Amino acid sequence: MTQFLFEVGTMRKLARMHRQALFTDDMSDNIATHTFRVMVIGFFLAKMEKVDPIKVLMMCLLHDMPESRTNDHNWIHKRYVKEFENEAIKEQLSTLPFQDFYEIALEYEKRESLEAIVAKDADVLDQILLLREYAWQGNREAQMWLDGKREKIEYNYLKYVKTKSAKALGRVIYDEEPSSWWKNLYQNNKRD
């Protein structure tokens, strides 16, 4: 377990590889920060879809765990690199004293249960949030990912989500300003 916990710590050092294609050097975006927001999204989606939120949280927690061994690959890399994620999951999780992580990771990989579909939708919604943040800062490539490369398609990236709740939340993400969360909190005077 201790070795696994040290390995988990390396996730904060693994940059996500879409940075290459998005022409950004955002060092705050790593597998650990991505996983954190995916978990929060997954919890909300699980509640909206009325599925087991703990199972969804666990799937979100583990969804990129094999990347500590296989690394994160963007769609250009995947053209040339074969990943052995199933081997990594087995070696990484099946040797732990409790089989829960391994069983949940396998269920997520199959994408047959509603919880696994919800967890994958959370993963995609985090990417949409990130793209909105980058586009808000003027990243035209991120905006093209959101809109579609060849022709502008409204809510283009939502083609990757399956649940009704994820589609609804995704539309709001598209339409919301990334800085809106703090606009009603701002005040010019110090509180007494």
- Quick one: pLDDT at residue 25? 82
The torsion of the CA quartet 93, 36, 157, 56, rounded to 10 degrees, works out to: 60
User: Looking at the chain, how many residues does it have?
Assistant: 192
Which two structure tokens, joined as six digits, stand for 32? 């650990």
CATH of 2-180, one of 1.10.3210.10, 1.10.10.10, 3.40.920.10, 2.40.50.180: 1.10.3210.10
DSSP characters for 3-69?
HHHHHHHGGGG-B-THHHHTT---TT-BHHHHHHHHHHHHHHHHHHHTS-HHHHHHHHHHTTTTHHH
Mapped onto helix, strand or coil, the DSSP state of residue 102 is helix
CA angle 116, 71, 17 (to 5 degrees): 90
- Quick one: pLDDT at residue 53? 98
Mean pLDDT score, 132-149: 94
φ, ψ for residue 45 (rounded to 5)? -65, -40
CA dist., res. 19 & res. 44, Å (int): 27
pTM value is: 0.92
Residues 28-84: tens digit of each pLDDT: 889 999 999 999 999 999 999 999 999 999 999 999 999 988 888 877 888 898 889
pLDDT over 80 (residue 174) = yes
CA angle 155, 67, 171 (to 5 degrees): 15
In the chain, what are the domain boundaries?
Answer: 2-180
Residues 78-122: tens digit of each pLDDT: 889 888 989 999 999 999 999 999 999 999 999 999 999 999 999
